[in-house]
Amino acid sequence: MESSAIRSVRPSPTLAADARVRQKIAAGEDVLHLAFGEAGLPVLPAVAEALARGSGDNRYGAVAGSAEARTAAAGYFSRRGLPTGPEQVVFAPGSKPLLYALLNVLPGDVVLPCPSWVSYAAQAELAGKHVASVPIGEAGGVPDCVALEEAARPGTLVLTLPDNPTGTVASPELVREVAAIADGAGLAIVSDEIYRDLAFDDEFLSPAEVLPEGTIVTSGLSKSMALGGWRIGFARMPDSDLGRSLGNAVAGLASEVWSSLAAPMQHVAAYVLSEPQEVRDHVAASRRLHRAVSLAAWERLTGAGVECRRPGGGFYLYPDFEPLRGRLGIETADGLAELLLERFGIAVLSGPAFGDRPDGLRFRMATSLLYGRGDEQRWEALASDHPAALPWIAAALDRLEAAVSTIARS
Ligand code: PLP
């Protein structure tokens, strides 16, 4: 067989960027790694103990997850204003496969905010879907309402609350407005709420509260508990006919592709999602740390003349260097990312990875890998009242500011 006959599937830009940066670091280069969306924090010991307790469980188990894990997830959603029964919950090895399964089985086109998380468009393409990309307005994660009115058509609208890549959180009013447009157009909503517990303010509205029958919520423990490598994701199907059909379809796809979330991880999920005080405290400390460092980075960037939406949750910023275009002598987002890496040793992920225009001078930076070189520094950062002042974090922020100021002065 000719190798050219093989269907080409590119690696996810975020994983590819991480591999490239780690190679540079391994080769002895001093790189400030802002290109990867990993939570950058240690495992809570009580969670490691839950995994140890579950390690003897070597059964395949039910596709959607154990009764304990599904009940705990139902409680998790119910405590957040979304009354949920265990039968509405499906677990998987990460929320990524759940999003892929949903985009596969839901009918119609896929409508995405632009920019949006790297994998939605790639997954939609793998699922053979047409993607309509709609620009964001004041906040990321949801499309601008006027543009959405024009682009709306039956299918699936994916929202990200809080957002990756912009780090913003759509206001409740905006969520209501977007949900009303989606409802009118026959769009089901997939609300990716994997950063929900890392929203800085209490003001959070899930579209599932506004459109309970037509909204699917996805989430996981990769971000709030920094367990990305443990691959624990879950989805809440609506309590409606659509929800029951979707739950069956997603579980059917899961049964043919990944079978179930690894059984020991289901024990972890049951423990974490029952939210004992220790877990709540850990998530609260993580949220404080992400907030302090991303806001400190935002202040440095905007202080140097760069435009940037103020972050409201998670650990991302999406700066726009348009005001500095004349001084850069660079015309593309990729050129800007390359300049930052080669001249200043700062790795970021350029805007087009998120569907943004190649000639927009924007990129995503994650602040979460700045918390320390090892677990000792990371625990110190978690416990600190002023983490941005810790020497290793302050040095990284200084380096970022110096690079941007050099560009602004040139
Ligand atoms: N959704 C968003 C917006 C993300 O940023 C990520 C991870 O980077 C995911 C989903 C996937 O998370 P996981 O598959 O680890 O649950």
- For residue 111, report the phi and psi dihedrals to the nearest 5 degrees: -105, 125
Residue 88's pLDDT band (cuts 50, 70, 90): very high
- Domain 45-275 matching CATH 1.10.3720.10: the answer reads no
What confidence score (pLDDT) does residue 257 get? 97
The β-bridge relationship of strands 215-220 and 155-160 is unpaired
Q: Could you tell me which residues are beta bridge partners of residue 33?
A: 347
Calculate what percentage of the chain has a pLDDT beyond 70: 100
Ligand 1 atom with the smallest distance to the CA of 231 is 15
CA of 58 to the centre of ligand 1 (A): 26
What is the pLDDT of the chain when averaged over all its residues?
A: 95
Pocket test for ligand 1, best of 119, 136, 354 (most atoms within 8 A of CB): 119
pLDDT of residue 348: 96
Give the nearest ligand 1 atom to 96 CA.
14
The one-letter code for the residue type at 267 is H
- Answer whether residue 7 shows pLDDT above 90: no
DSSP H stretches of helix in 135-240: 145-151, 172-185, 207-210
pLDDT at 201 (0 to 100):
93
pLDDT exceeds 80 at position 14? no
Contact partners, residue 208, CB within 8 Å, separation at least 6: 82, 189, 191, 215, 216, 217, 236, 238
Evaluate if residue 129 carries a pLDDT over 80: yes
Residues 134-144 have a mean pLDDT of: 97
**Coil/strand/helix, residue 332:** coil
CA distances from 169 to 205, 206, 353, 378 (A): 10, 11, 20, 26
> Where does the pLDDT of residue 293 fall: very low under 50, low under 70, confident under 90, or very high at 90 and above?
very high
The pLDDT of residue 407: 87
Identify which of 174, 128, 124, 181 has the alpha carbon closest to the alpha carbon of residue 154: 181
Ligand 1 shell residues, CB under 6 Å: 37, 94-96, 117, 160, 164, 192, 194, 220, 222, 228, 233
Domain-wise residue ranges, the chain? 4-43+278-409, 45-275
- Integer Cα distance of 244 and 207 in angstroms: 18
Please tell me the distance from the alpha carbon of residue 161 to that of residue 388, in angstroms, as a whole number.
25
Q: Among 227, 157, 141, 404, which Cα is nearest to 298's? A: 404
CATH of segment(s) 4-43+278-409: 3.90.1150.10
